[in-house]
Amino acid sequence: MAAPGEEEDVMARYRSPLVSRYASAEMAYNFSERKKFGTWRRLWLYLAQAEKSLGLPITDEQIREMEANLDNIDFKMAAEEEKKLRHDVMAHVHTFAHCCPKAAAIIHLGATSCYVGDNTDLIVLRDGFNLLLPKLARVISRLADFAEKYADMPALGFTHYQPAQLTTVGKRCCLWIQDLCMDLQNLERARDDLRFRGVKGTTGTQASFLQLFEGDHSKVEELDRLVTAKAGFKRAYMVTGQTYSRKVDIGVLAVLASLGASIHKICTDIRLLANLKEIEEPFEKDQIGSSAMPYKRNPMRSERCCSLARHLMTLVMDPLQTAAVQWFERTLDDSANRRVCLAEAFLTADIILSTLQNISEGLVVYPKVIERRIRQELPFMATENIIMAMVKAGGNRQDCHEKIRVLSQQAAAVVKQEGGDNDFIARVAKFLKEEVRPALIPYQSKMGGKIELAL
């Protein structure tokens, strides 16, 4: 923080580029301090409301005071309290109590720190998914439009990044769409599988609330149900330690990592197609591709997606390690790690989805280049049909395959080593004329004079 009387120079401090450079305002807010601590206060309100409805001596005046100060957060005071107490939750309990003096005695009643901490995390994760899902759906929609538009445009397919058989521009795009549809289902499932931690105590039992309600189990169970519903969840985890199981975080980041893999593959394909000059991402009128090479049209949006997708894919290792080392009911070595990895995963997913939407809305196709590449490779693409025709005419499939393989390699050598044209068809024609036709003449009577048709 800046010294008293001085303005803080934000340019003199590191800021995560995920927020300062890339992320959407809504996702940045979702992981903000204001959202976090505002949610803590709402959770304290839900708890007080539910406890009051079940008979604890909490007044309407106390509830109204809490309601009036949900967003009246003195962050400076909270920071000072935390510096003194070395405990973030109690710092905010004191800060909330300061502006709610009448309700001070019942704030956080019966609860443990993870009541606000973990339940807030689950709310933020749920809200994060709700921000990502429409963006992913829009990307799928844009790519579907592109696939439909170019459904019938032939393009050279590649396996091992070597020329293969024909596909279409639209069909290739459908490969991308199918992966993203799987991601859409995975994100929806992960969101819907999230439950509330609920109203549980320091080791996951409800002993403190049983004491408050004088051993009335039904009231404690109803308290849990009421607060869970107020927070917008249909279910709470039946069993927790002090925290909800950190395996939940693994499931959340795993589906985001999978989304990252899909987007990395899509944008890698686009980068390769840009090199072939068949398809390019949008390129602005005044955009500069290189400070040294004015002709460059670098696929920088796709490169950004690949760069950030790699980061997203690695983040799942954090919750895997964290879940593995949680001792008994919990250890605090999860906290600092989760502050980083959960936020960064959603921020990164948000960024690459927004960028991919921009790419998918402005993809540029160059049909003449695509057509020229097909013509260059068309002779080789005919090999499978030639082999099948030779077999139908009575040839042995393996012998035919070997001969065509040799002829195609010879033609490839002309192209690669001599810079000549592809003469594969001429070589096949010569082979059929000089070797196959003479071999079939003795069987002409049995073939009904159909040698030329067979050839």
Tell me the catalytic residues.
160, 290
CA angle 324, 309, 322 (to 5 degrees): 10
Q: Which of 170, 31, 30, 44 is nearest to 99 (CA)?
A: 44
Q: How many helices (H) and strands (E) does the chain have?
A: 20, 4
The CA distance from 9 to 338, in Å, is 28
What kind and span of H or E run contains 167?
A: strand 162-168
The CA distance from 16 to 18, in Å, is 5
Q: For the purposes of burial, counting CB atoms within 10 Å of the CB of 376, is it exposed (0-12), middle (13-18) or buried (19 or more)? A: middle
C-alpha dihedral over 399, 402, 404, 405, to 10 degrees?
A: 170
Q: Across-strand partners of 196?
A: 236
In the DSSP assignment, the letter for residue 236 is B
The CA distance from 336 to 347, in Å, is 17
For 87, the token pair is: 């405990």
Rounded to 5 degrees, φ, ψ at 364 are -110, 125
Give the count of beta carbons closer than 10 Å to the beta carbon of residue 272. Answer: 15
Each as own residue / partner, the long-range contacts of residues 142-150 (CB below 8 Å, 24 or more positions apart, any chain) are: 142/357, 142/360, 142/361, 143/173, 143/176, 143/177, 143/180, 143/360, 144/177, 146/170, 146/173, 146/360, 146/363, 147/171, 147/173, 147/174, 147/177, 150/365
Q: What is the identity of the amino acid at 434?
A: E
Whether the CA torsion 314, 236, 209, 105 is positive or negative: it is: positive
Overall size of the chain counted in residues:
455
- CA dist 415 to 85, 276, 418, Å? 76, 18, 6
The pairing of strands 364-365 and 279-280 is antiparallel
Listed in sequence order, the residues at least 6 apart from 182 whose beta carbon sits closer than 8 Å to its beta carbon are 258, 262
